[in-house]
């Protein structure tokens, strides 16, 4: 047999990737992973290695951050590096929004979010909040046309898993995941989350606390003898926790927050401000609470403006009624970071109040000192957040991948799980 015969027996996908590696298109890390996959394929083809054992060694276990507003998936690759998967839009985050085409078919993600402007009555968002709402599970479920929050969450998990697997050389070996949830979630909420994920065809190894995942992402080890504060300002909820790493465990000492304060509330404040300015300029009477299409369109615009103000002191935008089906002329406006921070300071005040409450609670439980403050959640990117935390707590809060840290921590946990549970012979 010719010594290059095995190469021709590779799958079309692997062979195509091999040619890219030879041409230098792939990175060194991607090439290493590819070579490992090719070697395993060749060994299995010739019966040199145990297929089951090699499959376990080549398995990918996802860490999934199922968020109220957006979700992410991560895993640790063969080189020991954390990879945040990209969806089909090329983004690392997928909006947790579901648009129902009919009673069976659904669209998830960016397209669903766009549909929320055109057909809001067919769109469901913020479903994670409803996992803790028992009334959404009563009878035939009044949450959405007979579907409870768990069933709707499954549609989101299916989207996340399909697109994450698409990045892998061996997608068929990605069958397990570690999920995260707020520390305040009880057994019932965690089981609902687990059921939603497993309904998408992937086994859940564990459901861990989001502050625990954040601490792991920031490099906190189980035997560090360290206490940290995790300030997590997500898209639709705020959580604050005191986490202790000691004697081989990372545990939550105190946790609280507000499930109804998040980045979306900053978006609402900005939307109201923009509409108020538009009404004054055009003598119109638009109101966010009177038109769902108007509200959804303005929230999308406001989120974009908010992100721009994270990186520059002022930005301009066009407010056009055309976005929500109106007929009035568009108006160009300018908003400064100073104005934006002023109109949303009351929201930040609420999170600071909750933070001090949790710190007081942790002191009552014997916590004498906070060694580090870790910021999590995409909304923690806003400059006003770190500045206020640093001032209030007299610290230098760490801000490292705040939007990705929960998924990263879940991926690290998954890797450690594999290390402690080696494949059986």
What span, in angstroms and rounded, lies between the C-alpha atoms of 398 and 406? 14
Q: How far apart are CA 218 and CA 402, in angstroms?
A: 10
pLDDT single digits (tens) 351-407: 999 999 999 999 999 999 999 999 999 999 999 999 999 999 999 999 999 999 999
CA distance 297 to 322: 10
**Could you give the C-alpha distances from 70 to 153, 215, 284, 337, in angstroms and in order?**
12, 20, 33, 24
pTM assigned to the model: 0.86
- Calculate the CA 117 to chain-centre distance: 22
Eight-state DSSP code of residue 138? S
pLDDT at position 59, please? 87
Cβ atoms of 333 and 343 within 8 Å: the answer is no
Determine the Cα angle at 97 with ends 139 and 263, to 5°.
110
Give the CA distances from residue 219 to residues 214, 252, 360, 400, in Å, rounded to whole numbers and listed in that order.
Answer: 9, 16, 26, 11
Looking at residue 4, what is its pLDDT?
39
Position 364 scores a pLDDT of: 97
Phi, psi at residue 350, to the nearest 5°?
Answer: -65, -40
The pLDDT value recorded for residue 15 is 60
Positions of the chain with pLDDT lower than 70, given as ranges? 1-34, 36-57, 422-425
């Amino acid at each position: 047999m010719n010594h290059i015969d095995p190469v021709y027996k590779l799958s079309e996908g692997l062979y195509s990737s091999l040619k890219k590696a030879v041409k230098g298109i792939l990175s060194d890390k991607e090439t290493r992973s590819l070579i490992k996959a090719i070697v395993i394929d060749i060994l299995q083809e010739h019966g040199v290695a145990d297929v089951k054992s090699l499959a376990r060694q080549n398995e990918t276990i996802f860490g999934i951050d199922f968020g109220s507003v957006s979700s992410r998936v991560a895993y640790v690759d063969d080189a020991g590096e954390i990879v945040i998967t990209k969806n089909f839009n090329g983004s690392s985050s997928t909006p947790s929004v579901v648009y129902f085409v009919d009673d069976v078919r659904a669209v998830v993600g960016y397209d669903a979010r766009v549909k929320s402007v055109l057909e809001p009555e067919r769109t469901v968002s913020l479903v994670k909040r409803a996992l803790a709402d028992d009334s959404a599970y009563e009878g035939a479920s009044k949450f959405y046309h007979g579907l409870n929050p768990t069933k709707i969450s499954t549609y989101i998990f299916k989207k996340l898993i399909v697109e994450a697997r698409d990045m892998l050389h061996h997608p068929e070996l990605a069958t397990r995941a570690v999920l995260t949830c707020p520390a305040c979630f009880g057994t019932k909420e965690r089981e609902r989350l687990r059921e939603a994920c497993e309904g998408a065809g992937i086994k859940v190894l564990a459901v861990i606390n989001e502050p625990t995942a954040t601490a792991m992402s920031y490099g906190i080890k189980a035997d560090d003898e360290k206490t940290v504060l995790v300030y997590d300002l997500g898209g639709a909820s705020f959580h604050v926790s005191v986490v202790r790493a000691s004697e081989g465990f990372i545990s939550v000492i105190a946790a609280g927050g507000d499930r109804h304060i998040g980045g979306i509330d900053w978006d609402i404040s900005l939307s109201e401000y923009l509409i108020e300015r538009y009404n004054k300029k055009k003598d119109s009477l638009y109101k966010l609470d009177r038109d769902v299409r108007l509200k959804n369109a303005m929230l999308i615009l406001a989120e974009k403006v908010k992100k721009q103000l994270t990186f520059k002191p002022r930005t301009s935008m066009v407010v056009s009624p055309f976005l929500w089906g109106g007929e009035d002329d568009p108006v160009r406006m300018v908003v400064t970071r100073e104005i934006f921070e002023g109109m949303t300071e009351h929201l930040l005040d609420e999170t600071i109040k909750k933070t001090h409450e949790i710190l007081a609670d942790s002191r009552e439980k014997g916590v004498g000192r906070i060694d580090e403050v870790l910021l999590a959640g995409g909304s923690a990117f806003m400059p006003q957040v770190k500045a206020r935390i640093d001032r209030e707590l007299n610290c230098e809060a760490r801000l490292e991948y705040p939007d990705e840290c929960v998924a990263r921590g879940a991926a690290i946990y998954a890797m450690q799980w594999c290390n402690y549970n080696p494949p059986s012979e």
